[in-house]
Amino acid sequence: MIRGMLGKPTAISTVVVLVVFAIVPFIAPAIGEAFYVDVFARIMIWSIAAVGLNLILGYGGMVSFGHAAYVGIGAYTVAIFGFHDINNGFIQWPVAVAVSGLVALVFGAISLRTRGVYFIMITLAFSQMVFFLGVSADKYGSNDGLNLWNRSYFPIGDAELSIDGEKTFYYMTLVLLLLVIYLTRRMVNSRFGRVIQGARSNETRLQTIGVATYRYRLTAFVISGMICGLAGVLQANFERFVSPDMMDWPRSGELMFMVIMGGMGTLFGPVLGATAFLILSEVLSNLTIHWHLIFGPLLILLVLYVRGGLTGLIGLFERRPGDG
Amino acid sequence: MAEPLLATRSLYKAFGGIVATDNLTLEVAAGEIHAVIGPNGAGKTTLVNLLSGLLKTDAGEIVFDGGAITRLRPAARSHRGLARSFQITSVFPDFSVLDNVALAVQAHSGHSYRFWRPVRGDAALYAPAREVLARVGLGARMEVLAGNLAHGEQRQLEIAMVLATGPKMLLLDEPMAGMGVEESQRMVELLRELKSDYTMLLIEHDMDAVFALADRITVLVYGRDIATGTPAEIRANSQVREAYLGASEDV
């Protein structure tokens, strides 16, 4: 039934993951593994960023190797506001998302004039610029990063909505994740989404039938940057700490891996990817300090042999004989 | 002759030392099918690429429907009413046949900064798309992925996408390329039907098709126009026979 409703063979796994997300804050402390609440909060934050990257990587075919920069910009904006004693979320959050979008507009406007491997390299170069900006920002901690003494708060009338509570923060993140997924769903099925996917499929043809593709691809790039900026806002609030390391290129690579692992161009794939990536690295790093030796080949195998990433893999298992 | 719908003036394009289009002046009158023929490497596809804006001209001018379009981008030319098909099938292989054509309709239905309403089921796009597909004979194949179509069907889809942009003129780059005899026959029929509605520049290797359809023919050799005239004139032209028709008869 549910499969019919969502129309994808991965619907069951989607529901399972969402239910797990929803009950972790109750289950984890009950089984004496309270730190898993943190693990899952982190998973959801990375999921938001991965969904954002997937909009251009999966649906738009733009292989951006620098999206950690936008996460970092969102996070640093919050931290710098905090540093100057401005903790009002109604100011912090919109500005952080807007700055991420603005930077994505500038970087995207230049990067999108290139194609293929040049696009990958130029997005990487831009994100490293942001990384080094963070390193050189002595006032804001340079390499050591910056602590947030307070999380954002939201003054509503005389009341003050705080997100200090672990459960409050956790469920707010879950709601934002669901919201981002829903908006992405609307977007990829709209006229705009058609154009973005058409440009991935065959850009030359799209231009000759009358679509000036550049501006639509740029718009998608900016929206993607803003979603990652939102993930950054959450990350800063969650960790109460930002540092240039979160914008360094390996973070961009990890974000790409989550999307590719989960299944590019699928609505929920990035969430599966982020979940698998972070749980695997958690589990493997507890087994051995050389966990990358296992993790790396695992990722390579998945990318090489399973078309469609985890979403594709689950699709294989869920498909019963006779399903066609 | 009345003002031509499409005209090139001393159009010139070179790739390194190779001149692909050599001072080409060409006029296509409204309502006619103007065929461009010539041996391989004569610069026929280059000409279509220059006309549709995928290549930049080195010199010369292109005038379409009363305005210069020499420096317009491909999308802008499409909006002026100049549509092209591709010799090597160029569709959206991971879209259904119907979605391919609906996207072509969408490209000419205002801007696409519409983020909310699902495009599927948008009658403003899908009704015209269905109509066009029925016209080219793909009415029964609308839900198939374009990448899974047979070659001949993909050629039909090419034409459907061109028509869906509501053009004034079609630039057809070898619409019969790779088709069997029977499929070619059907394509000739289709183009003959379309003739009453559209002006066409037809590039084609299939001489039977060219002589059956064209009102006028231009023969290109090394990017140069060596003869332009009615099919009868071209058939009788000794220079053409030598350069092109004769050679192909030897094969």
Per-residue pLDDT at B149 exceeds 70: yes
Gap between the Cα atoms of B156 and B133, Å rounded: 9
**Inter-chain contact A211–B91, Cβ cutoff 8 Å?**
no
Gap between the Cα atoms of A239 and A242, Å rounded: 8
Please return the burial class of B123, using the count of CB atoms within 10 Å of its CB with bins 0-12, 13-18 and 19+: exposed
**Inter-chain contact B119–A212, Cβ cutoff 8 Å?**
no
* Contact (CB, 8 A) for A313 and A73: no
Band (pLDDT 50/70/90 cuts) for residue A3 is very low
**Inter-chain contact B75–A187, Cβ cutoff 8 Å?**
no
The DSSP element (H or E) to which A17 belongs, if any, is helix A11-30
Q: CATH for A36-314, among 1.10.3470, 1.20.120, 1.10.10, 3.90.1580?
A: 1.10.3470
Residues in chain A closer than 8 A to B162 (CB atoms): 209
Band (pLDDT 50/70/90 cuts) for residue A7 is very low
In angstroms and rounded to an integer, the radius of gyration of the C-alpha atoms of chain A is 20
State the average pLDDT over residues B48-53. Answer: 96
Band (pLDDT 50/70/90 cuts) for residue A324 is very low
Per-residue pLDDT at B248 exceeds 90: no
pLDDT of residue B113: 95
Q: Which of A59, A191, A200, A206 to mutate to test the interface with B (most CBs of B within 10 A)?
A: A191
pLDDT of residue A4: 38
Q: Is B178 left (phi over 0), alpha (psi -120 to 50) or beta?
A: left
**Inter-chain contact A207–B117, Cβ cutoff 8 Å?**
no
| Eight-state DSSP code of residue B88 | S
Per-residue pLDDT at A10 exceeds 70: no
| Eight-state DSSP code of residue A290 | T
Q: What percent of chain A has pLDDT over 90?
A: 74
Amino acid identity of residue B192, one-letter, is: R
ipTM of the complex: 0.92
**Inter-chain contact B112–A191, Cβ cutoff 8 Å?**
yes
Q: Which residue of A has its CA nearest to B74?
A: A208
Per-residue pLDDT at A306 exceeds 80: no
pLDDT of residue A294: 86
pLDDT of residue A8: 53
Residues in chain B closer than 8 A to A186 (CB atoms): 115-116, 118
Interface check B52 vs A, CB under 8 A: yes
Which residues are within 8 A (CB) of B249 and not within 5 positions of it... i.e. 6 or more apart? none
Per-residue pLDDT at B171 exceeds 80: yes
Give chain A's mean pLDDT. 91
The domains located in chain B, with CATH, are 1-81+167-251 (3.40.50.300), 93-166 (no CATH)
Q: Chain B: give the shortest CA distance to residue A206, in Å.
A: 8
Instruction: Give the strands of the sheet with B82-84, arranged side by side.
Output: B82-84, B169-173, B199-203, B33-37, B216-221, B224-229
> Number of Cβ pairs closer than 8 Å across A and B?
97
Domain boundaries of chain A, sorted by first residue? 36-314
Give chain B's mean pLDDT. 92
Per-residue pLDDT at B145 exceeds 60: yes
Q: Chain B: give the shortest CA distance to residue A187, in Å.
A: 5
Phi, psi of A267 (to 5 degrees): -65, -45
Band (pLDDT 50/70/90 cuts) for residue A206 is very high
In angstroms and rounded to an integer, the radius of gyration of the C-alpha atoms of chain B is 18
Q: Residue-wise over A71-100: b if at least 16 C-beta within 10 A, else e?
A: bbbbbbbbbbbbbeeebebeebbebbbebb
Phi, psi of B111 (to 5 degrees): -75, 165
Residue of A204, A212, A216 lying closest to B54 (CB–CB): A204
Per-residue pLDDT at A90 exceeds 50: yes
pLDDT of residue A91: 97
Interface check B79 vs A, CB under 8 A: yes
Residues in chain B closer than 8 A to A191 (CB atoms): 106, 112, 114, 117, 119, 122
Helix and strand counts by DSSP (H, E) for chain A: 13, 4
Per-residue pLDDT at A241 exceeds 60: yes
Band (pLDDT 50/70/90 cuts) for residue A13 is confident
Phi, psi of B199 (to 5 degrees): -80, 145
